[in-house]
A and B are shown apart, each in its own frame.
Chain A
Amino acid sequence: MSTGSFSKPFSAAFDINSQEFSLTGVIRPRSVDEIAVNISMLKGAIDQVRGVLYINVKRLIQMNNTAFHAFVRVFLDACRARPDLRFVIVTSSVVGWTTRMFSHLNKIEPQITIEVYDSKFYPGQSFVEDASFIPILRTQTKMTWRHERTILPRHGMRPGIAMADICCGIGDFAVLVQKEFQPLRIVALDHSRASLAYARDVATGFGITDIEYTYGDASEMLLEDSQFDFVSCRHSLQIFNRPDVLLAELYRICKPGGRVYVTNEKNSHCLGEPRSQSIQWTYNEVAKLFSHFEMDVELGPKSRRYFADAGFEDIVVESIMVSNLDGDPQDFADVIAAWENVYAGEMAVKRGDSPEFIQRFRQGFQDHIFAALHPKGYAGWPIWVASGRKPR
């Protein structure tokens, strides 16, 4: 059910299959009577479950003391009446006060425990949030920006807009956009504290003070509905195990008439000459490797379908080929070397691949570097750019 009298939607729901009662939104009632139906739903949930009841408050943006005490009263009474029942309250590290408030309950009733939903919200997160990835990201942006600065206006970028860069990483794209297009407001969100710290340093170094960097979960953002004229999310749908959920969030925060802009790869289409066969084999294996970790680095051309399914209109899709001929070929080679380190050095090892496989896997990256630095060679990294307009 929803309670429309609050400034932002509030909802409570119970899923018997997962034994999960969830509270989302802003809940600031004047009296307990206003949430009586929700309290009743919670009591009904307690009556139906066995063993453990999960209380999901990951997306609980605000809750006043009146509501907190009303819900907690039910938990505590249930603990006393049902010694067989445990409560696991699942909070988010993004909304810091919920963990603090609810953690006291364990001191009162050991049957109530708190779990901070954090680092496991998508399977490949640990690979891409590692601080060692930062130099690669910076070089990648430098290479793609040469193309994107020309492309962006075709996808709705213009001066004076409100923009959000979701999964902003080290924030360099936001800085480049700020310098090139002068949007009125930029909010840049990421779930890596190391990347955000780096981003703030970069912005400070450039004397840019008006980018709002924020720590957050892209699939469940604190940002309100319909705020931004332009929402970018680069190279990220492909590393979420549920890209449709992420795209729905991008849609939600985009203003009606505004545009969501994404970039993604199709890794198996990375190419190079000479040694093309070795290169192609390795990048086909890259796609399989990411798939093992529930990431789809073949997503690029699928963007059109994702946008259509999410309800966008005026969908624009185009591809760019980043190559060793853009600027310094050594930059291209450095990026490939970094990919080799992470993909062959970490991910393949974690998957349990044999030394023989990893050796062949590495060789394709080495051959790609060889092609990039060869005086007559060509090395390419294709990227699909897509945007769609949220209906008015």
Chain B
Amino acid sequence: MNEADRESVEAAFEPLLQLEMEMTTFLSDWHHCDQLSTFIGRIVSHNRTDPVRHSNVFSSVLNELLEVSFRGGSPDGQIDCAVYRHGAVERVRLTFPCPPHQRQFVGEAVSKTRRADALARHLDSISTDLASNRDAVFLDLAINFDARIRLENSAPPSITLVVDLPLQGIVN
């Protein structure tokens, strides 16, 4: 995809919701991951074909992403979660501050989801305890939720995950 095509696709995504929170507040309680994913899932899904079940699936994915940011994030700055929609696809853009080494680990975990052996890696992550939590989470999202995950350039110390979710197929 060339730059012009990419910009065209990017522009097609309609913003639905954006939420910002101080990382210190976010990191103060593990249950924020569950609460935010449930809350955002309901709002985003209200006009989907089956809102209850779409919300359930969306919340599953978003919770995992928030848990990644909870486990790997640092307390300085803000977490920013934005959701967009284009047709049957929801896009989550999640930005949070994290140490440089975490940025590298996340980048490696994301790249594994795009490789041809992603399913084999996923099975391996289930059957052994050798895969990192990040690897297991991103492979789970890619294999079980058809998520397309990439990292977007953002100014250090922040990291931005962009996750496209064609959830209608799972829901219906």
Q: A101 near B: Cβ within 8 Å?
A: yes
Say whether A7 contacts B126, CB under 8 Å. Answer: no
Give the A-B pair count, Cβ closer than 8 A.
89
B49's partner among A62, A76, A95, A200 (CB-CB below 8 A) is A200
14 residue pairs bridging A and B, Cβ less than 8 Å apart? A5-B31, A26-B34, A28-B34, A28-B63, A30-B30, A65-B133, A76-B126, A76-B127, A97-B145, A100-B170, A104-B122, A200-B49, A214-B52, A223-B52
Q: B67 near A: Cβ within 8 Å?
A: yes
Say whether B53 contacts A100, CB under 8 Å. Answer: no
With A7-B38, A62-B34, A62-B60 known, 12 other A-B pairs at CB within 8 A are A64-B63, A94-B53, A95-B53, A96-B53, A96-B170, A96-B171, A97-B170, A104-B143, A187-B52, A189-B52, A209-B47, A213-B50
Name the residue of chain A whose CB is nearest to the CB of B47: A209
* A96: chain B residues within 8 A (beta carbon): 53, 57, 170-171
Instruction: Give a binary string over A24-56; 1 marks a CB under 8 Å from any B CB, 0 the rest.
Output: 001010100000000000000000000000000
Q: Is the interface of A mostly helix, strand, loop or mixed?
A: mixed
CA distance A5 to B133 in the complex (A): 22
Say whether A216 contacts B30, CB under 8 Å. Answer: no
Interface residues of A in 274-300 (CB under 8 A from B): none
Top-10 shortest CB links A-B: A214-B52, A30-B30, A100-B144, A212-B51, A108-B127, A96-B170, A28-B34, A214-B50, A65-B137, A7-B34
Q: B109 near A: Cβ within 8 Å?
A: no
9-residue interface stretch from A66-74, A142-150, A232-240, A359-367: A66-74
Name the residue of chain A whose CB is nearest to the CB of B129: A73
The count of residues in chain A whose C-beta lies closer than 8 Å to any C-beta of chain B is 38
Interface residues of B in 34-53 (CB under 8 A from A): 34-35, 38, 46-47, 49-53
Say whether A104 contacts B123, CB under 8 Å. Answer: yes
Say whether A101 contacts B52, CB under 8 Å. Answer: no
Interface residues of B in 136-156 (CB under 8 A from A): 136-137, 140, 143-145
Chain B: minimal CB distance from A80 (Å):
10
Say whether A69 contacts B136, CB under 8 Å. Answer: yes
Q: Which residues of B contact A (CB under 8 A)?
A: 30-31, 33-35, 38, 46-47, 49-53, 56-57, 59-60, 63-64, 67, 122-123, 126-127, 129, 133, 136-137, 140, 143-145, 170-171
* B52: chain A residues within 8 A (beta carbon): 187, 189, 212, 214, 216, 222-223
Name the residue of chain A whose CB is nearest to the CB of B145: A97
CA distance A223 to B53 in the complex (A): 9
Question: Taking each of A94, A200, A212, which has the highest tally of chain B beta carbons within 10 Å of its own beta carbon?
Answer: A212
Say whether B34 contacts A97, CB under 8 Å. Answer: no
A65's partner among B50, B57, B140 (CB-CB below 8 A) is B140
Q: A6 near B: Cβ within 8 Å?
A: yes
Name the residue of chain A whose CB is nearest to the CB of B141: A65
CA distance A223 to B50 in the complex (A): 12
* A26: chain B residues within 8 A (beta carbon): 34
Q: A61 near B: Cβ within 8 Å?
A: yes
* B46: chain A residues within 8 A (beta carbon): 212
Q: A351 near B: Cβ within 8 Å?
A: no
* A120: chain B residues within 8 A (beta carbon): none
Interface residues of A in 214-228 (CB under 8 A from B): 214-216, 222-223
A64's partner among B50, B64, B144 (CB-CB below 8 A) is B64
Chain B: minimal CB distance from A111 (Å):
13
Q: A107 near B: Cβ within 8 Å?
A: yes
Say whether A95 contacts B56, CB under 8 Å. Answer: yes
Q: A105 near B: Cβ within 8 Å?
A: yes
**Given the known A-B contacts A108-B126, A212-B46, are A222 and B56 also in contact in the complex, defined by CB atoms under 8 Å?**
yes
Name the residue of chain B whose CB is nearest to the CB of A107: B123
* B145: chain A residues within 8 A (beta carbon): 97, 100
Chain A: minimal CB distance from B129 (Å):
7
Say whether A215 contacts B126, CB under 8 Å. Answer: no
Name the residue of chain B whose CB is nearest to the CB of A95: B56
B56's partner among A61, A65, A68, A76 (CB-CB below 8 A) is A61
Say whether A69 contacts B49, CB under 8 Å. Answer: no
* B122: chain A residues within 8 A (beta carbon): 104
Say whether A222 contacts B53, CB under 8 Å. Answer: yes
Chain B: minimal CB distance from A54 (Å):
20
